[in-house]
Amino acid sequence: MPLGLPPVVALLVGLVHCIAGYRLFPLVLGIYGLVFGVGAGSALAEIWFPGQVLTASLMQVGAGLLGLGAVLAYFRIGVFVIGAVAALLLTWAVAPVVGGVSWQVQLLLACVAGSASVVVTRVVLIVATAITGAALVVRSAEVMAESPVRWLTDLTALPWTGALPDAIPEVVAWAALALLGIAVQLATTARRWTSTGLGRTLLAPRSRGINAVPMPPIHPRRYARNHVWAELDGDSVLVGISARALDQLGEITDFALRVQPGDELAPGQCFAVLESAKAEIELFTPLSGAVVRVHEGLDLAPATISDDCYGEGWMIAVRPPDLSEFTTLLDAEAYSELLKTAAACV
């Protein structure tokens, strides 16, 4: 059975890949895992159970779910695969022009691109998902144009099986759509502020006659003086970085945890490192306690910290021995006054 999707489904999957692959990264990973799992199950079924349609279908479903679970459980494997696939697509696209590319070179380029995806996640993944998504959209549109009455019954061969746009108009459309996808993803994953946070709006310091501009709202949580916030969550305390600190740092480009569940933290101990376009800083815990969980996968999508620093951008959860340290942290009003005082001193 060929590895493919109905044209309409493939078109929608390709569009999601192309224009929102990085922001919807878990969904994209799931699609990859599901498709590769189904493909592996189909190949094994043809070898082990030829002609047994029901058994083959069950194997495809089982292998697809297994692939889905595997890439979601092991993010870095999925990240590596996406980067490697994008490199292979580009290699296959230029192979006819350069007279062919050996499998050794293809393997090397795939490994390099996959490793780059793991290390430089955001930019590489945006480019990779835009390229693969655009290829799938163009192939789907071609199949739909050839057979408009069978949009749900025909199969669009997936680009990573080697079915790439080959005619010049298709290649041009592929390149244009990929560039558009890259531009859209870079724009939509840039740092932005939402108005969901409660609290008063602060003013930036006046400097050299420049008028004050609105600052991000202060969310009603507890805060440390190093701009780390803390919020009760059952018997533990969630910890993250404040919007005010992010406003000074700029776009977040990298995030790395320095702790794991089970670690005992003392107040002021480093628990993470945050890198932005402007600086690299260490984050220090505002209270003591045992780390009960960490935000898995946040290092693969550091833009989440900027997009939703008080929600999905949480970093670690700590269980303190008691709440005395938590109650001594600044409330929203006190933190607001702290920022005003700091601004007045500039």
From residue 344, give the alpha-carbon distance in Å to each of 31, 93, 203, 242: 51, 58, 10, 20
Mean of the pLDDT values across residues 139-168? 62
Q: Do 86 and 222 sit in the same domain of this protein?
A: no
**Burial category of 40 from C-beta neighbours within 10 Å (exposed 0-12, middle 13-18, buried 19 and up):** middle
Do 313 and 301 contact (CB within 8 A), yes or no? no
Q: Do 140 and 44 sit in the same domain of this protein?
A: yes
Q: Do 216 and 269 sit in the same domain of this protein?
A: yes
* In a domain? residue 196: no
Give the contacts of 196 (CB within 8 A, at least 6 positions apart).
none
Residue that terminates a domain, selected from 188, 213, 232: 188
Q: How many domains are there within the chain?
A: 2
Three-state SS at 326: helix
Q: Do 181 and 215 sit in the same domain of this protein?
A: no
Q: What pLDDT band is residue 125 in, cutting at 50, 70 and 90?
A: confident
* In a domain? residue 150: yes
Q: Do 110 and 52 sit in the same domain of this protein?
A: yes
Check residue 59 and give its pLDDT.
Answer: 86
Distance between CA atoms of residues 27 and 13, nearest Å = 10
- Residue (of 91, 80, 99, 104) closest to 29 by Cα position: 80
Q: Do 162 and 24 sit in the same domain of this protein?
A: yes
Residue that terminates a domain, selected from 188, 220, 252: 188
Residue that terminates a domain, selected from 157, 188, 219: 188
Check residue 55 and give its pLDDT.
Answer: 84
The mean-pLDDT minimum among 53-62, 139-148, 176-185, 285-294 falls in 139-148
pTM: 0.51
Q: Do 118 and 29 sit in the same domain of this protein?
A: yes
* In a domain? residue 195: no
* CA dihedral of residues 272, 277, 278, 281 (deg, nearest 10): 10
**Which pLDDT tens digit goes with each residue over 15-46?**
888 888 877 766 777 777 777 777 778 778 88
CATH of the domain at 295: 2.40.50.100
**Which pLDDT tens digit goes with each residue over 55-112?**
888 888 888 788 877 766 666 677 787 778 778 878 877 777 777 788 888 888 888 8
Q: Do 115 and 246 sit in the same domain of this protein?
A: no
* In a domain? residue 194: no
* In a domain? residue 59: yes
The mean-pLDDT minimum among 103-107, 116-120, 195-199, 242-246 falls in 195-199
Q: Do 217 and 123 sit in the same domain of this protein?
A: no
Distance between CA atoms of residues 82 and 89, nearest Å = 11
- Name the percent of the chain in helix, strand, coil, to the closest 5: 55, 15, 30
DSSP 107-161: HHHHHHHHHHHHHSHHHHHHHHHHHHHHHHHHHHHHHHHH-TT-TTTS-EEPGGG
Check residue 264 and give its pLDDT.
Answer: 92
Check residue 212 and give its pLDDT.
Answer: 39
- Residue (of 231, 250, 251) closest to 240 by Cα position: 231
Mean of the pLDDT values across residues 244-252? 85
* In a domain? residue 137: yes
* In a domain? residue 193: no
Q: Do 205 and 114 sit in the same domain of this protein?
A: no
Q: Do 172 and 102 sit in the same domain of this protein?
A: yes
Domain extent, residue 303, equals 201-344
Check residue 197 and give its pLDDT.
Answer: 29
Do 257 and 283 contact (CB within 8 A), yes or no? no
Q: Do 169 and 208 sit in the same domain of this protein?
A: no
Strand order in the sheet with 270-276: 252-257, 270-276, 280-284
